[in-house]
Amino acid sequence: MAQAQSPLTGIIEEDKVVIDFGEFEGKSVLEIADTKPDYYEFLVSQKDSGNFSIRRTKDKIYRLYIHQTHLN
């Protein structure tokens, strides 16, 4: 049976992706989905508009970024 993909992280598990900006820096996407659903929806909207990226760093952690010009 195929596992459902996240609307935010795709095939990467949400607990493996860490936010790397703002007041939620260091928290996983899964934690944000559980505690701040409105902010999670904001992140999904940023992904849909192309202002979003997930990068794997040298320490093998997936980090979520949003372009700075769209945070203001």
Give the tens place of pLDDT for each residue, 10-68.
Answer: 999 999 999 998 899 999 999 999 999 999 999 999 898 888 899 999 999 999 998 76
Residue 44 near residue 51 (C-beta atoms within 8 A): no
pTM of the model: 0.81
**Angle value at C-alpha 31, between 40 and 16, nearest 5 degrees:** 100
Give the tens place of pLDDT for each residue, 20-34.
Answer: 988 999 999 999 999
Tell me if 9 is assigned to some domain. no
Q: Partners of 49 in the beta sheet?
A: none
Q: Which domain holds residue 22?
A: 14-70
Tell me if 59 is assigned to some domain. yes
Domains identified in the chain, total number: 1
Tell me if 6 is assigned to some domain. no
Tell me if 27 is assigned to some domain. yes
Q: How far apart are CA 67 and CA 47, in angstroms?
A: 11
What are the structure tokens assigned to 35, written together? 């505690």
